[in-house]
Amino acid sequence: MSMLLLLTLSIILLGSVAYFRLSRLIWSPILIILLADAQYIGSLSWGASLLLWPVAIVSLLIAWLPIVRQQLITKPLFEFFKKNLPPLSDTEKAAIESGTVWWEGKLFQGQANWQKLWNMPKPTLTQDETAFLNNEVRTLCSMVNDWEITHEKADLPKEVWDYLKNNKFFGMIIPKEYGGLGFSALMHSSVIAKLATKSVSLAVTTMVPNSLGPGELLIHYGTEEQKQYFLPRLASGKEIPCFALTAPEAGSDAGSIPDQGIVCKGTFEGKEIVGISLQFDKRYITLAPVATLVGLAFKLYDPEHLLSTNTNVGITLALIPASHPGVEIGARHHPLRLAFMNGPIRGKDVFIPLDWIIGGVAMAGKGWQMLFECLSVGRGISLPALSTGTASLSYVATGAYAAIRKQFNLAIGQFEGVEEALARIGGFAYQLDAARVFTAQAIDLQERPAVATSIAKYHMTELSRAVNNAAMDIHGGRAIMMGPSNYLGVSYQAMPLSITVEGANILTRSLMIFGQGAIRCHPYLKDELLVLDAYKDDQKLALKHFDKICIQHIGYAISNFVRSITLALTLGKVTELTAKQDIKCYLQKLNWLSASLAWISDIAMLTLGGALKRKELLSARLGDVLSHLYLSSALLKYYQDGEKSAEERNLLHWGLQHNLYQCQEAYYGLFENFPNQLLGRLMRWVIFPYGRRFSKPNDELSHLVAKKLLIETPIRQHFSQLCYIGDLEDPMGLIEETFKQLQIAKPVLEKLAQAVKAGNIHRSLSLRAQLQAAMAKNILTQHEVNIVEEYEQLRVKAIAVDEFPSDYPLGSEICNNQSKQHADEQSIS
């Protein structure tokens, strides 16, 4: 056997061991056998033996003898981590120990098992849930005039509030045994999405009690006594809840809230008890002006040690009646002229019993972990549902408008510039619904994936913003002029709300997705950090525990490098060989980019250490790669569970090509801005040895996607079902009926156009005159003329904009006394 052949065999065998992450029980004997074989057949010179045998022996000693490994590798790494990684704060420890890691963890580690993803059950609604969606939700939407509530009343009508309470819309997530509806996360998401297509104000009013609530906190952490008392009252609407977290000086950094509670003795209901004296100042609190029950986050201190030996107990959550002495509530903010209730809450010398802490005294100081887990679920349902709802409305309405609106005697949807925008609407709307269902499924599987829900919150709100902008561009003046017939304007106004709340998007992208993902999704980093923190006073014990984790981490890193370079050189083609042809090439590319992320993440964290936390743009780009891998997974799962029609296939290809391109550009942004430029170039050569490989969806594919928005298709019907579409008095009902009438009138209009083109009818005549001439010449029948005239009447009305008399109170102070009046109604009811 020649030296070259043996070398090739050795590389293949050892590379395979690393690629498949096989244990030292396998690679150790392989290494010895290869060296012995080379020595025996004489292929290995004595000079090479003197070099390679010591390396092999040291490798084996490192793998099998901890004392050797610690001196050569583990201890230097241990000292490096101690020096370069900042100590974990209490909030950071709570964050990395909260929730679970789901599919996003497999993507981060380069270990996606696609067959396992396909085998996950298809998310579906139960019969009861479907019936509620088709009846109660539809009835609720029909009761709302969004123009009236946003521009005239600045509130939902009393009958809408009553309907929400009586039909338990505020208790969708509350289990049936506590009087709620016990809906799945998918159903919760579906309700919010549909309500958002009618009124964002209605959707926000409904989603808040079903999110942080504080119903969700009670379900997971409340004492049984608290659950038995509060949950039925919340489900029935007897209590209107809000949750007070944000303070004037503490927004995205919720852990820095200045509001304080002091454990002390005080008088409650005529008795002296040990309780908490609270001082707080909160703002931006949704439902605050009408709330009867306030969930409050504050920092708890125990200077007299009445609870424990700790003076600083930590962030704590409590439930307080809005009418409790010292609580000031009722003022109102006005968020971008939407009608949902939002305002500040303040408290001075508010004394409460200890059993008002959510979960009782046992949960004192554990509020940050409670908030972190429940906020992550809210991010995965509420805002993604809102984003999907507004995008679905844009898909249905903009496709219809682009088909019926003409310029230069041509439907505007046939212009290539408009097609480009339509393709974005179609591709992103499909992506949004896929991600909505995918993330809701994780929650229904009892996962609490903080990283996945952060991805959903950031990218879905941004995609929805892109869809909304494209829809506004296509509608032009029709969408700009506000009024009862404008079905896009309020969603456009409301978009910054989704971008800002539940973790502002800039923060979420630059700090949370990869900042949390690197620690939560990495198989070893979290344990290494916790060991450093847990045994900081016992270095010997810390080194011992660190060593066990570190040797596994080293093997993982070597494997990631081998996998990354192998998949890059083969463009991923050595994987997913048995996958179906229509998705195989995408799975191969996703495996390649996923393996690369696993390797690059370790390189970035090793070389930058704690500085990576401050390199927010680098962190954001790594987060973008993970995010688009996650969004691609959602698309593939959605497609696998769907009908797999040609139309769906085009949407799948469009979305995946967009995501792959975004991954590539995020990688290149990282390479070009990496502090160590040589290392940046090395990473680029390893991951993209042939240069850039991915492009945006091309014009031909975008044309195929766009033209389907202009006709009735199963996908369009799906998005129509996600929307509320009323009768002809409803603006969406009017545009949809006009679109349907166009499908009937289209053959007649084409026949008329052919007659005009042939010169049988003069081009300069009005449409009515052309129709009359066509009927006189027996080109069209009276019935056909009636069809076109009926369509034209609807079309003119559908493209019209609202006009107001000069004395209409567009600038009036519509908020005056609204919150006070509503609060009075609540107290009476």
Write the pLDDT tens digit of every residue in 762-806: 988 999 999 999 999 999 999 999 999 999 999 999 999 999 988
Q: 622-639 pLDDT, tens per residue? A: 999 999 999 999 999 999
pLDDT at 190 exceeding the cut of 70: yes
How high does pLDDT run on average in the chain?
88
Which CA distances in Å does 303 have to 257, 264, 312, 367? Answer: 19, 8, 8, 19
Q: Is 668 exposed, middle or buried, given 0-12, 13-18 or 19+ CB atoms closer than 10 A?
A: middle
The residue among 638 and 151 whose pLDDT is bigger is 638
**Which of the two residues, 50 and 657, has the higher pLDDT score?**
657
b (16+ CB within 10 A) / e for 375-401 = bbbbbbbbbbbbbbbbbbbbbbbbbbb
| Residues 554 and 461 occupy one common structural domain | no
Name the residue with higher pLDDT: 330 or 759.
759
Can you give the pTM of this predicted structure?
Answer: 0.92
Confidence of residue 45 (pLDDT cuts 50, 70, 90): low
CATH code, domain carrying 149: 1.10.540.10
Domain shared by 367 and 386, yes or no: no
Q: Domain check: are 397 and 503 in the same one?
A: yes
Average pLDDT of the segment spanning 160-177: 97
Identify whether 101 is part of a domain.
no
CB burial of 278-313 (b: ≥16 within 10 Å; e: otherwise) equals bbbbbbbbbbbbbbbbbbbbbbbbbeeeebeeeeeb
Task: Please say if the pLDDT value at position 828 is more than 50.
Answer: no
Whether 596 and 668 share a structural domain: yes
Q: Which of 323, 356, 372 is the last residue of a domain?
A: 372
Question: Are 498 and 629 part of one and the same domain?
Answer: no
- How far apart are the C-alpha atoms of 245 and 240, rounded to whole Å? 17
What average pLDDT score do residues 418-445 get?
A: 97
| 397: pLDDT strictly greater than 60 | yes
What are 79-104's pLDDT values in tens digits? Answer: 777 776 666 666 667 667 778 899 99
Of the listed ranges 408-412, 601-605, 814-818, the one predicted with least confidence: 814-818
The reported pLDDT for the residue numbered 82 is: 73
Structural domain includes residue 163 = yes
Interval 653-680 mean pLDDT: 97
Residue 294 in this model has a pLDDT that exceeds 50: yes
Whichever domain contains 491, its CATH number is 1.20.140.10
- Total domains in the chain come to 6
Q: Pick the closest to residue 193 from 709, 633, 724, 639 (CA basis).
A: 724
Q: What is the mean pLDDT of residues 237-262?
A: 86
The answer to whether residue 246 sits within a structural domain is yes
Q: Which domain holds residue 300?
A: 241-372
First and final C-alpha spacing in the chain: 92
Is residue 209 scored above 50 in pLDDT? yes
Considering the domain architecture, whether residues 534 and 505 belong to the same structural domain is answered as no
How confident is the model at residue 51, as a pLDDT?
46
Output the pLDDT for position 825: 44
Instruction: Please determine, for residue 542, whether its predicted confidence score (pLDDT) is greater than 80.
Output: no
Q: Which one of 5-14, 363-372, 547-556, 593-602 scores highest in mean pLDDT? A: 593-602
Q: Nearest 5°: CA angle at 696, between 694 and 697?
A: 115
**C-alpha R_g of the chain:** 31
pLDDT band at 204 (very low <50, low <70, confident <90, very high): very high
Residue 69 forms part of a structural domain: no
Q: Is residue 804 part of a domain?
A: no
Same domain, 661 and 528: yes
Asked if 345 and 392 sit in the same domain, the reply is no
For residue 342, the domain's CATH number is 2.40.110.10
Nearest Cα residue to 318 out of 351, 285, 281: 351
Residue 72: band (very low, low, confident or very high) from pLDDT cuts 50, 70, 90: low
Active site residue 502: yes
Give per-residue pLDDT as tens, 567-576: 999 999 999 8
- Tell me the Ramachandran region of residue 337: left when phi exceeds 0, alpha when psi lies from -120 to 50, beta otherwise: left
Pairing assessment for the beta strands 271-286 and 260-268 based on DSSP bridges: antiparallel
Stated as kind and residue range, the H or E segment containing 91 is helix 90-97
The domain boundary, picked from 372, 394, 411, lies at 372
Whether 89 maps to a domain, the answer reads: no
Where does a domain end: 646, 679, 695? 695
Q: How far apart are CA 774 and CA 518, in angstroms?
A: 70
Nearest to 172 by CA among 180, 164, 160: 180
Note whether residue 78 is domain-resident: no
Q: Which two tokens stand for residue 97?
A: 């120990």
Please tell me whether residues 146 and 187 are part of one structural domain. yes
Only one residue has tokens 């950090």, namely 529
Predicted confidence at residue 375, as pLDDT, reads: 74
Count of C-beta atoms within a 10 Å radius of residue 739: 26
What is the rounded CA–CA span in Å between residue 739 and residue 670?
Answer: 46
Is the same domain home to 316 and 425?
Answer: no
User: For position 678, what pLDDT does the model report?
Assistant: 96
Catalytic-labelled residue, pool 104, 373, 502, 647: 502
Q: Would 121 be classed as within a structural domain? A: no
616/670 same-domain check:
yes
Residues 546 and 565 in one domain: yes
Predicted confidence at residue 87, as pLDDT, reads 65
| Residue 801 DSSP code | -
